[in-house]
Structure 1
Amino acid sequence: MNNDANGEPGSPLALTIDRGLATIRLCQPPANALGSALVAALNGALDEIERAGAGAVVIRSTVPNVFAAGADLKLLSTLDRADFGRYLVDLRHAIERLATLGPPTVAAIDGYALGGGLELAMACTMRIASPASRLGLPEVKLGLLPGAGGTQRLPRLVGRGPALDLLLTGKPHVAADAERIGLVDLIVDSDDIVTEAERIGRAFADGPAAALRAIIRCVDAARDLPLAAGMEVEADAVLDLFETADAIEGISAFLDKRAPTFSKRHPDQ
C-alpha cells in the first residue's frame, strides 16, 4: 500500500506508507510553522499511521534549510488566552501522540529546528541532522517558554545543565554541539540525510516490531521509574517476547547462521 494522506496540493504535510515505513514530509513554506492547519494535518497523519500498523516513521522537511521553525507567531499574535490554550492543547496532543506512537521514529533535520519544531523532533526516538542545522528553543526571547514539552523532554535527553543553557539563553546549537550534549544522535551530510533517514527507517520497519516497541518502553521506564520498578518492566517485556514468532525465528536464524526473516505484520505487505 502506498498512502498519500494529507498530500493534496496546498496541504502543510504529505504522508506516504511503503511496506511498513511511514514518511511524513513537512511542506509548508517558508518555515513549516506549526500553525493550526499543520497540527491538524499531523494528527490526521498519525491516525493513518496507526491504522496502517507502520513499523517505523521518518519525519523530514521538503522546505529548504528548515525542519520546522516553531509556532506561527502571526497566528499567536491574534489569540487571547483562551484561544492560545486551545491551540496549545492541540499542539501538545499531536507531539505527545508522536512520542507515544510505539514504533521507532526518526527526525531528519536539515536546517533550522526551533521552538515547537525542536519539540517535535525531541518527541522522536532518534534525531539525525546535517552539519549546518541549528537546534534551539528561543521562546525566552519572546518572553515565553516552550509549551509543548521543551522544558520536560530536553533535560531528560541532555541533562539539567545543558538544558538550562539552551532554554535560558535561547541561543541555538549547531549540529556538532547538539550531538556533543546528546540532542542529536548522528550527523549526516545534507545531500545524504534523506537517504540515511530512510535507510534507518527501513531497517526498523523490517525488524521485529514487538521487540523494537518493547525496547522503547523499557528505556522510557528507565527514565521515569526507580531501578527496581524498571527491572520489573524489563522482565515482563522479555517474557512476553520469548514465545513470539519473531523471537523463535531470531533464535533459529542465529543457530542456523542465516539472516532472520521476521513476520509480516503490516497490512500493506
Structure 2
Amino acid sequence: MTAELATDVVTWEVVRPGTMVVTMDRGPANALGIPLLDGLQAACDAAETAGDIKVMVIRSAIDGFFAAGADIKHLGTINAESFTAYGNQMRAANDRIESASFISIAAVDGLALGGGMELAMACTFRVGGAKARYGLPEVNIGLIPGAGGTQRLPRLVGRGKALDIILTARQVPAAEAAEIGLVDRSTDGDVMEAALALADEFAGASLPAQLAGIRSVDAAYDLPFSEGARVELEQEQGLFEHGEAAEGIDAFITKRKPDFA
C-alpha cells in the first residue's frame, strides 16, 4: 500500500495576486491525520516563501465536510507518548496558521467537527455556508478539545456558549453559528465566492497594519486594559517607524492611491 503523502491530501494555488487557496482533500472526511497536518504546514511554508501572500483561504474538496477532526483510527493505534506527539502536531498547525504573516479564512460548507472546528477557529475569519455545522464531540470519547479549542471558543462566543458546545458535544447549525459569533460571515450561496469576496476586501489595505490590528485586538482578550493599550501603542508606533504608514499618509496628502507592498 502506497504511503499517503502531504501533497496527496493538501494542495494550494495562488488564485489572484496576494490570495492563496489551500484545498484539503483526504477522503472520506478530511480526518486530520499526519499527512494532512504536514500538508497545512507545507502550504504555510509556500505562502511565506512567496512573500506576497496577504490572504490564505482554507477549503475542502470533499462535499459535506470541512474537516471531521482527529484521525480516530490513528488514535486507536498509539500510546500515551505518541498521543502527545500527535496532539502537538495538531496544535502546531493551528498555532502556525493563527500567528502567520497573512490573514487566514476558513471557508466552511459542511461538517467542521473536533479538530476540524479547532482548525477553523485558528483562522482569522470563518465564512460559513448554509450546510455548515460545527461541533466539538471529544467528550463522547472521553477527551476534551486539545488543539486550542477550549481556549479559542470562549474568546469567540463567551464562556457559557463554549461550555454548552463542549459539554453537550452537540452540533451547532449554520444560523446559530452566525448568531453567536462563531462565524464571521455567512452565506446561502457559494462559500468560496463569499470567502474570496472577503479576501478582496482586504486587498487594498496595508498588511502590516492589518496584522498589527489583529495583534492589538487579541491583546484585548488576553491582557488587562492597561497592558492591552500598551500593545496597541507599540503596534501603532512600529507601523509609523517600520511599516507602511509613511506611504499611506503621503498618499492621503497627495490624493493618490497608496502603493502598499
TM-score (normalizing by structure 1): 0.89
Shift of 1:206: 4.1
Name 1:193's counterpart in structure 2.
191
1:15 to 5, 12, 17: 12
Asked if 2 retains the 8 angstrom alpha-carbon contact of 1:104 and 1:125, the reply is yes
Aligned 1:234-253 pairs, distance under 5 A? 234-242=232-240, 246-253=244-251
Aligned 1:118-267 pairs, distance under 5 A? 118-189=117-188, 191-242=189-240, 246-255=244-253, 260-264=257-261
Distance 1:164 1:245, change over 3 A: closer
Q: Which string of whole-angstrom CA distances, capped at 9 and with x for unpartnered residues, describes residues 4-56 of structure 1?
A: xx885xx1111113422121111112111100110111111111212222211
Q: Which string of whole-angstrom CA distances, capped at 9 and with x for unpartnered residues, describes residues 74-113 of structure 1?
A: 1111111111111111111111111111321111100100
More strand by share: 2
Name 2:93's counterpart in structure 1.
94
Asked if 2 retains the 8 angstrom alpha-carbon contact of 1:7 and 1:15, the reply is no
* Counterpart-to-counterpart distance in 2, 1:93 and 1:140: 22
Instruction: Tell me the amino acid that sits aligned with residue 16 of structure 1.
Output: E
Instruction: Tell me the amino acid that sits aligned with residue 251 of structure 1.
Output: I
Instruction: Tell me the amino acid that sits aligned with residue 186 of structure 1.
Output: R
Asked if 2 retains the 8 angstrom alpha-carbon contact of 1:13 and 1:26, the reply is yes
Instruction: Tell me the amino acid that sits aligned with residue 135 of structure 2.
Output: G
Instruction: Tell me the amino acid that sits aligned with residue 199 of structure 1.
Output: A
Name 1:115's counterpart in structure 2.
114
* Counterpart-to-counterpart distance in 2, 1:163 and 1:95: 19
Contiguous gaps of at least 5 residues in structure 2: none
Distance 1:142 1:98, change over 3 A: same
Q: How many residues align?
A: 255
Q: Which string of whole-angstrom CA distances, capped at 9 and with x for unpartnered residues, describes residues 186-230 of structure 1?
A: 1112x4210121122233244211101100110111111111111
Asked if 1 retains the 8 angstrom alpha-carbon contact of 2:19 and 2:56, the reply is yes
CA-based RMSD: 1.8
* Counterpart-to-counterpart distance in 1, 2:6 and 2:73: 24
TM-score (normalizing by structure 2): 0.91
| SS at structure 2 position matched to 1:164 | helix
Compare relative contact order (CA 8 Å, sep 6+) and give the higher one, 1 or 2.
1
Asked if 2 retains the 8 angstrom alpha-carbon contact of 1:138 and 1:171, the reply is yes
Contiguous gaps of at least 5 residues in structure 1: 1-5, 265-269
Shift of 1:246: 3.5
Name 1:35's counterpart in structure 2.
33
* Counterpart-to-counterpart distance in 2, 1:57 and 1:107: 9
| SS at structure 1 position matched to 2:70 | coil
Sequence identity (%): 45
Name 2:43's counterpart in structure 1.
45
| SS at structure 2 position matched to 1:89 | helix
Instruction: Tell me the amino acid that sits aligned with residue 237 of structure 1.
Output: Q
